Amino acid sequence: MVTVAARTLRVRGGIINMHIDVWSDLVCPWHESLVALGAEAGLDADDVARALRDNAYAKAVEADLEQARAIQVNGVPFFLFDGRYAVAGAQPADAFTQALSRVPADIS
């Protein structure tokens, strides 16, 4: 397993790809919990289960990951406002206030 992980990281260049390669054939152990949380939040449980099963948001997640790579996000949490104003890491509320005050009024 370690050899596979190391080779995947070297060849494909990332932990995300290694995770997908190693775990993609397994059933998500949190599937039922995620469906229950979605239903508790007011979503239709069948829709949540279908979205998880069909990887309905995989392309959107990949696009987010690509954007993060492009702007060199290297940690979490990371918040991006209007594609230009960022707050990286655990920051006090003032950091968010400052970033949001720079976002043009027409989109806030």
Confidence at residue 108, expressed as pLDDT on a 0 to 100 scale: 47
Query: Is there a contact between 86 and 79 (Cβ–Cβ < 8 Å)?
Result: yes
Residue 53: its pLDDT value, please?
87
The pLDDT value given to residue 82 = 86
What local confidence, expressed as pLDDT, does residue 41 receive? 93
Query: What is the helix (H) or strand (E) element at residue 78, kind and residue range?
Result: strand 78-81
Determine the pLDDT at residue 87: 93
What is the pLDDT at residue 12? 46
The residue to which tokens 């995947």 are assigned: 8
pTM equals: 0.55
**Contact call for residues 38 and 48 (beta carbons, < 8 A):** yes
pLDDT per residue rounded down to tens, the chain (108 residues): 444 444 444 554 555 555 555 555 556 677 888 899 999 999 999 999 999 888 899 899 899 889 999 999 988 899 988 888 889 999 999 999 999 898 887 564
